[in-house]
Structure 1
Amino acid sequence: MQKAPITTHILNLDNGKPAAGVRVTLHRLDTQEPIASATTDNDGRIMQWEMQFDIHAGNYLLHFAVAPWYERQALSNFYPEIQLIFRVENAQEHYHVPLLLNAYGYSTYRGS
Protein backbone atom coordinates (compact mmCIF):
# COMPACT_ATOMS: atom_id res chain seq x y z
CA MET A 1 0.00 0.00 0.00
CA GLN A 2 1.38 3.38 -1.00
CA LYS A 3 1.22 6.20 1.55
CA ALA A 4 -0.81 9.35 0.97
CA PRO A 5 1.29 12.50 0.43
CA ILE A 6 0.33 13.68 3.95
CA THR A 7 0.03 11.18 6.79
CA THR A 8 -0.39 11.40 10.56
CA HIS A 9 -0.11 9.32 13.69
CA ILE A 10 -1.46 9.93 17.21
CA LEU A 11 0.26 8.54 20.28
CA ASN A 12 -1.54 8.81 23.61
CA LEU A 13 1.21 9.83 26.04
CA ASP A 14 -1.02 9.10 29.05
CA ASN A 15 -0.57 5.37 28.46
CA GLY A 16 2.00 5.13 25.64
CA LYS A 17 -0.48 3.54 23.24
CA PRO A 18 -1.80 4.63 19.83
CA ALA A 19 -4.99 6.69 19.75
CA ALA A 20 -7.29 4.61 17.56
CA GLY A 21 -10.62 5.99 16.35
CA VAL A 22 -9.85 9.73 16.20
CA ARG A 23 -11.49 11.60 13.33
CA VAL A 24 -9.02 13.79 11.40
CA THR A 25 -9.73 16.25 8.61
CA LEU A 26 -7.13 17.75 6.30
CA HIS A 27 -7.64 21.27 4.92
CA ARG A 28 -5.72 23.38 2.47
CA LEU A 29 -5.73 26.85 4.04
CA ASP A 30 -6.03 28.89 0.86
CA THR A 31 -9.43 27.33 0.10
CA GLN A 32 -10.55 26.77 3.74
CA GLU A 33 -12.33 23.62 2.59
CA PRO A 34 -11.49 20.08 3.68
CA ILE A 35 -9.67 18.02 1.06
CA ALA A 36 -9.65 14.72 2.94
CA SER A 37 -10.78 13.02 6.14
CA ALA A 38 -10.25 9.69 7.85
CA THR A 39 -10.25 7.96 11.23
CA THR A 40 -7.05 6.71 12.85
CA ASP A 41 -6.59 2.95 12.62
CA ASN A 42 -5.74 0.54 15.46
CA ASP A 43 -2.14 1.75 15.33
CA GLY A 44 -3.28 5.40 15.62
CA ARG A 45 -2.27 6.08 12.02
CA ILE A 46 -3.73 7.54 8.87
CA MET A 47 -1.67 6.33 5.96
CA GLN A 48 -4.51 6.61 3.42
CA TRP A 49 -7.45 9.01 3.49
CA GLU A 50 -11.04 8.30 2.46
CA MET A 51 -10.41 10.19 -0.77
CA GLN A 52 -7.27 10.73 -2.83
CA PHE A 53 -5.78 14.18 -3.30
CA ASP A 54 -2.74 15.91 -4.70
CA ILE A 55 -0.69 18.39 -2.71
CA HIS A 56 0.76 21.67 -3.84
CA ALA A 57 3.05 24.14 -2.11
CA GLY A 58 1.14 26.06 0.54
CA ASN A 59 -0.23 25.87 4.06
CA TYR A 60 -2.30 22.96 5.32
CA LEU A 61 -4.25 22.26 8.50
CA LEU A 62 -4.85 18.96 10.25
CA HIS A 63 -7.93 19.06 12.47
CA PHE A 64 -8.07 16.36 15.17
CA ALA A 65 -11.48 15.86 16.85
CA VAL A 66 -10.16 14.46 20.14
CA ALA A 67 -13.12 15.18 22.48
CA PRO A 68 -15.28 12.30 21.17
CA TRP A 69 -12.31 9.94 21.53
CA TYR A 70 -11.87 10.93 25.19
CA GLU A 71 -15.64 10.78 25.81
CA ARG A 72 -15.81 7.18 24.51
CA GLN A 73 -13.29 6.29 27.22
CA ALA A 74 -15.16 8.26 29.92
CA LEU A 75 -12.14 10.56 30.33
CA SER A 76 -11.94 14.32 30.50
CA ASN A 77 -9.54 16.44 28.48
CA PHE A 78 -8.61 20.11 28.16
CA TYR A 79 -8.40 20.46 24.35
CA PRO A 80 -11.59 19.28 22.59
CA GLU A 81 -10.04 19.90 19.17
CA ILE A 82 -6.48 20.28 18.00
CA GLN A 83 -5.49 22.09 14.83
CA LEU A 84 -1.99 21.86 13.42
CA ILE A 85 -0.97 24.22 10.62
CA PHE A 86 2.09 23.33 8.56
CA ARG A 87 3.71 24.34 5.30
CA VAL A 88 4.29 22.16 2.26
CA GLU A 89 7.26 23.57 0.39
CA ASN A 90 8.02 20.70 -1.97
CA ALA A 91 4.96 18.84 -3.24
CA GLN A 92 7.21 15.94 -4.34
CA GLU A 93 8.05 15.11 -0.72
CA HIS A 94 6.03 13.11 1.80
CA TYR A 95 4.78 14.98 4.90
CA HIS A 96 4.19 13.00 8.09
CA VAL A 97 2.78 15.10 10.95
CA PRO A 98 2.47 13.11 14.21
CA LEU A 99 0.52 14.25 17.26
CA LEU A 100 1.74 13.34 20.75
CA LEU A 101 -1.36 13.68 22.91
CA ASN A 102 -2.28 13.71 26.57
CA ALA A 103 -5.33 15.02 28.40
CA TYR A 104 -3.78 18.42 29.15
CA GLY A 105 -1.30 19.02 26.37
CA TYR A 106 0.09 17.98 23.03
CA SER A 107 3.15 18.35 20.83
CA THR A 108 4.03 17.63 17.25
CA TYR A 109 6.96 17.48 14.85
CA ARG A 110 7.69 16.71 11.21
CA GLY A 111 8.14 12.99 11.04
CA SER A 112 9.47 10.77 8.30
Structure 2
Amino acid sequence: MSHVTTHVLDTALGRPATGVPVRLERRAAGGAEATPGHASWETVAQSSTNEDGRVPDFGPEQLSADTYRVVFDTAHYFDRTGQQGFYPEATIAFHLTDEDAHYHIPLLLSPFAFSTYRGS
Protein backbone atom coordinates (compact mmCIF):
# COMPACT_ATOMS: atom_id res chain seq x y z
CA MET A 1 0.00 0.00 0.00
CA SER A 2 1.14 3.54 -0.64
CA HIS A 3 2.39 5.57 2.29
CA VAL A 4 -0.12 8.30 1.33
CA THR A 5 -3.64 7.70 0.00
CA THR A 6 -6.57 9.98 -0.72
CA HIS A 7 -10.32 9.89 -1.20
CA VAL A 8 -12.55 12.59 -2.73
CA LEU A 9 -16.28 12.82 -2.05
CA ASP A 10 -18.53 15.23 -3.95
CA THR A 11 -20.79 16.41 -1.14
CA ALA A 12 -23.02 18.43 -3.50
CA LEU A 13 -23.88 15.34 -5.55
CA GLY A 14 -23.62 12.90 -2.65
CA ARG A 15 -21.22 10.48 -4.36
CA PRO A 16 -17.52 9.73 -4.88
CA ALA A 17 -15.72 12.18 -7.16
CA THR A 18 -14.31 10.03 -9.96
CA GLY A 19 -11.58 11.11 -12.36
CA VAL A 20 -10.10 13.90 -10.23
CA PRO A 21 -6.44 14.41 -11.24
CA VAL A 22 -4.27 14.40 -8.10
CA ARG A 23 -0.57 15.10 -7.48
CA LEU A 24 1.52 14.27 -4.43
CA GLU A 25 4.34 16.78 -4.03
CA ARG A 26 7.26 17.16 -1.65
CA ARG A 27 8.84 20.41 -0.56
CA ALA A 28 11.98 20.87 -2.67
CA ALA A 29 15.32 19.84 -1.19
CA GLY A 30 16.35 21.99 1.73
CA GLY A 31 12.94 23.68 1.82
CA ALA A 32 14.54 26.65 0.09
CA GLU A 33 12.13 29.44 -0.62
CA ALA A 34 12.55 31.62 -3.70
CA THR A 35 10.55 34.39 -2.06
CA PRO A 36 9.19 34.53 1.48
CA GLY A 37 6.16 32.26 1.85
CA HIS A 38 6.60 30.54 -1.53
CA ALA A 39 8.33 27.16 -1.38
CA SER A 40 9.33 25.10 -4.39
CA TRP A 41 7.69 21.70 -4.79
CA GLU A 42 8.62 18.55 -6.70
CA THR A 43 6.13 15.93 -7.87
CA VAL A 44 6.40 12.53 -6.16
CA ALA A 45 3.36 10.87 -7.79
CA GLN A 46 0.36 11.60 -10.02
CA SER A 47 -2.90 9.76 -10.46
CA SER A 48 -6.67 10.21 -10.74
CA THR A 49 -9.42 9.08 -8.41
CA ASN A 50 -11.07 5.77 -9.28
CA GLU A 51 -14.80 4.92 -9.44
CA ASP A 52 -14.93 4.99 -5.64
CA GLY A 53 -13.25 8.42 -5.54
CA ARG A 54 -10.04 6.89 -4.15
CA VAL A 55 -6.37 6.78 -5.08
CA PRO A 56 -5.20 3.64 -3.29
CA ASP A 57 -1.81 3.35 -5.04
CA PHE A 58 -0.51 6.87 -4.74
CA GLY A 59 3.24 7.06 -4.69
CA PRO A 60 5.85 4.98 -2.96
CA GLU A 61 5.27 2.59 -0.09
CA GLN A 62 7.73 4.58 2.04
CA LEU A 63 8.44 8.29 2.26
CA SER A 64 10.86 10.15 4.50
CA ALA A 65 9.72 12.65 7.08
CA ASP A 66 9.16 15.99 5.37
CA THR A 67 6.47 18.43 4.26
CA TYR A 68 4.21 17.18 1.47
CA ARG A 69 1.07 18.35 -0.23
CA VAL A 70 -1.72 16.83 -2.26
CA VAL A 71 -2.99 18.98 -5.14
CA PHE A 72 -6.48 18.19 -6.48
CA ASP A 73 -7.35 19.49 -9.98
CA THR A 74 -10.93 20.39 -9.12
CA ALA A 75 -11.40 22.51 -12.29
CA HIS A 76 -11.00 19.39 -14.42
CA TYR A 77 -13.52 17.50 -12.29
CA PHE A 78 -16.10 20.30 -12.27
CA ASP A 79 -15.79 20.81 -16.05
CA ARG A 80 -16.25 17.09 -16.63
CA THR A 81 -19.33 16.89 -14.40
CA GLY A 82 -20.96 20.07 -15.72
CA GLN A 83 -20.62 21.97 -12.45
CA GLN A 84 -19.44 25.57 -12.10
CA GLY A 85 -16.74 25.46 -9.42
CA PHE A 86 -15.21 28.40 -7.59
CA TYR A 87 -11.89 26.78 -6.65
CA PRO A 88 -9.83 25.52 -9.64
CA GLU A 89 -7.69 23.43 -7.30
CA ALA A 90 -7.54 22.37 -3.69
CA THR A 91 -4.10 22.05 -2.11
CA ILE A 92 -3.63 20.27 1.21
CA ALA A 93 -0.15 20.58 2.74
CA PHE A 94 0.83 18.34 5.65
CA HIS A 95 3.80 17.22 7.73
CA LEU A 96 4.72 13.55 7.41
CA THR A 97 6.47 13.01 10.74
CA ASP A 98 5.96 9.30 11.47
CA GLU A 99 7.67 7.30 8.72
CA ASP A 100 5.90 4.12 9.88
CA ALA A 101 2.37 5.55 9.84
CA HIS A 102 -0.11 5.54 6.96
CA TYR A 103 -1.30 8.99 5.87
CA HIS A 104 -4.80 9.29 4.40
CA ILE A 105 -5.73 12.74 3.08
CA PRO A 106 -9.47 12.86 2.25
CA LEU A 107 -11.18 15.76 0.52
CA LEU A 108 -14.85 16.68 0.86
CA LEU A 109 -15.69 18.75 -2.19
CA SER A 110 -18.52 20.93 -3.46
CA PRO A 111 -18.50 23.72 -6.06
CA PHE A 112 -18.09 26.49 -3.47
CA ALA A 113 -16.34 24.76 -0.55
CA PHE A 114 -13.94 22.02 0.39
CA SER A 115 -12.68 20.54 3.65
CA THR A 116 -10.29 17.86 4.80
CA TYR A 117 -9.24 15.99 7.91
CA ARG A 118 -6.59 13.45 8.98
CA GLY A 119 -8.05 10.17 7.78
CA SER A 120 -7.16 6.65 8.80
**1:30-109 equivalent positions in 2, closer than 5 A:** 30-31=28-29, 32-49=41-58, 52=60, 54-109=62-117
- Taking only the aligned residue pairs, the percentage that are identical comes to 38
Query: CA contact under 8 A between 1:30 and 1:59: conserved in structure 2?
Result: no
Query: CA contact under 8 A between 1:36 and 1:53: conserved in structure 2?
Result: no
CA displacement at 1:52 relative to structure 2: 3.3
Structure with the bigger percentage of strand:
2
Distance 1:94 1:37, change over 3 A: same
Runs of 4 or more above 6 Å deviation: none
> Which position in structure 2 is the counterpart of 1:8?
6
Which residue identity is paired with 2:52?
D
CA displacement at 1:75 relative to structure 2: 1.3
TM-score, normalised to structure 1's length? 0.92
Alignment RMSD: 1.2
Which residue identity is paired with 1:68?
H
Rg larger for: 2
CA displacement at 1:21 relative to structure 2: 0.2
- Aligned match for 2:16, one of 15, 18, 43: 18
Tell me, in whole angstroms, the C-alpha distance in 1 between the residues paired with 2:77 and 2:47.
14
Q: 1:68 aligns to what SS in structure 2?
A: helix
Equivalent residues, number: 109
Gaps of 5+ in 2: 30-40
Distance 1:34 1:53, change over 3 A: farther
Gaps of 5+ in 1: none
